[in-house]
């Protein structure tokens, strides 16, 4: 539900107006496009990436790249080359590259982008940082802006608060995995999964 109701309901199409998060992303992408800059958009869900791809195609009339685990290696390499250097006919590469967090989070150099969006948050900040580093590779000459989307008062917001509160000891508590979740007691887990009243008010 934090991403888009259509994602939760497993619908094949999504109206951006039904999600504040989707609306905000599309507005920011228009600003970035107007400034002739490029952007990486990470989501942990292939289905959400497909919904975003459709929304962007309907709004801009062109198909953004989308890299996920089902893309063969040769096609993946062509997508990266096109984003980084444009087409063989001198055409400029697409301004938006959608990536699933696991497929695009490591091993790629995507320094053509100077904006990185995390559309939905991962439990482990190290995974997000690895994904963000795709734009921070050797060869990056511009300042990179990182945007993390969070729905206030929801599970996303609470995960973010917990990660921020433990950042100074993240390596000791969170480490490179999600084992810290098993350390929560029943009350903490219930609070984590409940919608905050303050956000609704």
- Going from N- to C-terminal start, the domains of the chain cover 5-149, 152-201
- d(CA 180, CA 184) in angstroms, rounded, equals 7
- d(CA 25, CA 4) in angstroms, rounded, equals 12
Q: CA 54, 1, 174: angle at the middle one, nearest 5?
A: 105
What is the model's pLDDT at position 4?
Answer: 86
70 φ/ψ angles, rounded to the nearest 5 degrees? -90, 0
25-47 residue pLDDT tens: 999 999 998 999 999 999 999 99
User: Which CATH number, 3.30.420.40, 3.40.50.300, 3.20.20.70, 3.40.50.720, labels domain 5-149?
Assistant: 3.40.50.300
Chain CA centroid to CA 174, Å? 20
What is the model's pLDDT at position 198?
Answer: 77
What is the model's pLDDT at position 119?
Answer: 93
Q: Model confidence at 159, in pLDDT bands (50, 70, 90)?
A: confident
């Amino acid at each position: 539900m934090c991403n888009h109701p259509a994602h939760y309901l497993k619908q094949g199409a999504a109206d951006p107006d039904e999600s504040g998060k989707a609306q905000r992303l599309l507005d920011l992408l228009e600003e970035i496009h107007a400034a002739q800059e490029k952007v990486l958009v990470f989501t942990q869900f292939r289905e959400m990436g497909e919904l975003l791809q459709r929304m962007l195609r309907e709004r801009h009339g062109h198909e953004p790249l989308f890299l996920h685990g089902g893309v063969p290696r040769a096609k993946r390499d062509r997508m990266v080359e096109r984003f980084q250097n444009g087409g063989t006919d001198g055409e400029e590469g697409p301004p938006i590259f959608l990536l699933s967090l696991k497929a695009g989070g490591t091993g790629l150099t995507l320094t053509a982008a100077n904006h990185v969006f995390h559309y939905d948050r991962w439990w482990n900040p190290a995974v997000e940082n690895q994904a963000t580093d795709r734009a921070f590779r050797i060869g990056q000459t511009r300042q990179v802006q990182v945007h993390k989307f969070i729905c206030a008062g929801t599970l996303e917001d609470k995960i973010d608060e917990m990660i921020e509160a433990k950042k100074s000891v993240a390596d000791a508590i969170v480490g490179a995995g999600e084992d810290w979740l098993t350390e929560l007691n029943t009350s903490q887990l219930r609070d984590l999964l409940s919608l905050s009243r303050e956000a609704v008010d």
